[in-house]
Structure 1
C-alpha cells in the first residue's frame, strides 16, 4: 500500500507473509545443541520425562516458583496437569523439555506467538538447580532464539519478567535482549502486585547477538574443569545498545 498523506510511516516490509507456528514444523520437534537438546512437549510425552522434571525442581521449589503464577506442585500428577494445560490452544504456548545427559532438567517455552506480525516470546524459563548457571542453560535459550529467527523468520523475539526477579532480568540482558520498559501493576501473582518488564531482540540485531553467543558457547571458551574463560554479555554487542548509549551522551 502506498501512502500519500505526508504522514510519517514505518518502513515497507516487502513480500511479507505470516510465519509458521513453531509447533507445526515436525522436523524441528527436537532442537540439537552442543551441550543439550530441546524436545517438544506433546500429549504423548512420556511420564518418565515429566517425573524427571518434577524431581529436578523439588529441592528448590519454595524459591523457584516465587515470581511465577504457578507452582510449587504437591504431586507429580498436579505438575503433569499444569504442563498439559499449557498445550491448550487458548494459551498459545509451545513447550520444550531441556534434556542433558538423557535426563529432563528444565523446560522453556514460546508464548505470545504472533504469526501474522512475526513476533514471539521466550518464556516459562524453568531451569532446575543442576541446570541453572551452566552453558546448557545458555544454549537452551539460544536454541529457541536461533529457531525463531533463522528457521522461522520471525522479526522480533521478546522476553518479559517481573523486575524483582533479578535472575531473569540479568539473564535477558546477558543474552542480548534490550530493555524496553516496565508495565506497572500488570498482574497479581500469589496475592502480590506484579509489574512486568519487557525486553526484545529484532531481526537486524540478531546476527550480532548470535555471533557473540556462539563465541561464548565454543568449547575453546571453557577450561578443562568447565569454567568459562571469557564472560557473555551480548547486550553490549547489540547495535541498539550502542545507539542508546550514544543518544545519552
Structure 2
C-alpha cells in the first residue's frame, strides 16, 4: 500500500518554524522488517524475545537474573519474578500490541545473558526509545553489552531510518544514567513526576541521539568495538569517546 507523504504547509505570517522535512513518510515498525528476527554482531547477537522463544532461552534469562534480583529490579516497573512461569507471562504480556514493546534476548557464546528492547515506537514522527535494558552480571563491563546497544541503534537509524532514539530512566538510577552518556546519548533534562513505580513517585531522566549525530557516533562505536582495540584478555586499549563527539552544547548533565 502506498504511504501518503506529509505535505509542506506554508506559514503565511512572520513566525519561526522548524526546518523542512522533505518527502516525509511514517517509518516502518520494528517487526515489519525481515531483518528484525536476529541482529548479529561480532561478540553477541540479539534474538527476538516473545512467546515463541525457546524455553531454554527463557530459563537461561531467568537463571541469569536470579542471583541479583534483590537489587536488579529496584528501578523497574516489573520483577522480581518468583518462578520462571511468571517471567514467561511477563514476556507474553509485553508482546501485546497495546504494550508497544519489542524485546530482544542478548546471546553471548550461545547463552542468553540479558535482554533489551524497543518501546514507545512512534512511526509517524520517526521516534523510538531503547529501554528494558537488563544486563545480568555476566554482561557487566564487557564489550558485548556495548555492542547490544549498538546493534539496536544501528537497526533504528540505518535500517528503519528513524530520526530520534531516546533513553529514559529513573533519575535516581545512576547505573543507567552513566551508560547513557557513555553510549553517546545527550542529556535533555528531568521529567518530574512522570510515573508511579511500585507505589513511589518516579522522575525520569531523558537522553537522546538524533540521526545527524548518529553518523559520528556510529564511527566511534565501530572504532571501539574493533577487535584491534582489545588485547588477548579482552581488555580495551582505548576507552569509548561517544560522549565527546556529539555536537550539542556540552555541560548539560547533572550526573554526579
TM-score, scaled relative to structure 2: 0.93
Asked if residue 102 in structure 1 is aligned to residue 107 in structure 2, the reply is no
Q: What displacement does 1:51 show?
A: 0.5
What corresponds to 1:48 in structure 2?
A: 56
Q: What displacement does 1:36 show?
A: 0.3
Asked if residue 188 in structure 1 is aligned to residue 196 in structure 2, the reply is yes
What corresponds to 1:74 in structure 2?
A: 82
Residue in structure 1 matching 2:125, options 86, 92, 117:
117
TM-score, scaled relative to structure 1: 0.95
Instruction: Spell out, residue by residue over 1:201-220, the C-alpha distance to the aligned partner (whole angstroms, 9 max, x if none).
Output: 00000011111111111111
SS of residue matched to 2:22: coil
> Any conservation in 2 of the 1:208–1:239 contact (CA below 8 Å)?
no
What corresponds to 2:229 in structure 1?
A: 221
> Any conservation in 1 of the 2:38–2:48 contact (CA below 8 Å)?
yes
What corresponds to 2:139 in structure 1?
A: 131
Q: What displacement does 1:245 show?
A: 5.3
Q: What displacement does 1:163 show?
A: 1.6
Asked if residue 201 in structure 1 is aligned to residue 209 in structure 2, the reply is yes
What corresponds to 2:3 in structure 1?
A: none
SS of residue matched to 1:130: helix
Instruction: Spell out, residue by residue over 1:103-148, the C-alpha distance to the aligned partner (whole angstroms, 9 max, x if none).
Output: 1111100000000000000000001110122100000000000000
Distance 1:163 1:234 in 2: 21
What corresponds to 1:170 in structure 2?
A: 178
SS of residue matched to 2:128: strand
Residue in structure 2 matching 1:60, options 53, 68, 87:
68
> Any conservation in 1 of the 2:102–2:118 contact (CA below 8 Å)?
yes
Q: What displacement does 1:186 show?
A: 1.5
**Bigger Cα displacement from structure 2, 25-34 vs 105-114:** 25-34
**Bigger Cα displacement from structure 2, 38-47 vs 160-169:** 38-47
Instruction: Spell out, residue by residue over 1:7-61, the C-alpha distance to the aligned partner (whole angstroms, 9 max, x if none).
Output: 1000000000110011111233100000000011232111111001000001111
Distance 1:20 1:239 in 2: 28
What corresponds to 1:232 in structure 2?
A: 240
Distance 2:118 2:31 in 1: 10
What corresponds to 1:23 in structure 2?
A: 31
Instruction: Spell out, residue by residue over 1:181-235, the C-alpha distance to the aligned partner (whole angstroms, 9 max, x if none).
Output: 1011222222222110100000000011111111111111111111111111312
> Any conservation in 2 of the 1:173–1:233 contact (CA below 8 Å)?
no
Q: What displacement does 1:76 show?
A: 0.1
Residue in structure 2 matching 1:9, options 11, 17, 29:
17
What corresponds to 2:91 in structure 1?
A: 83
**Bigger Cα displacement from structure 2, 100-109 vs 190-199:** 190-199
Distance 2:196 2:12 in 1: 45
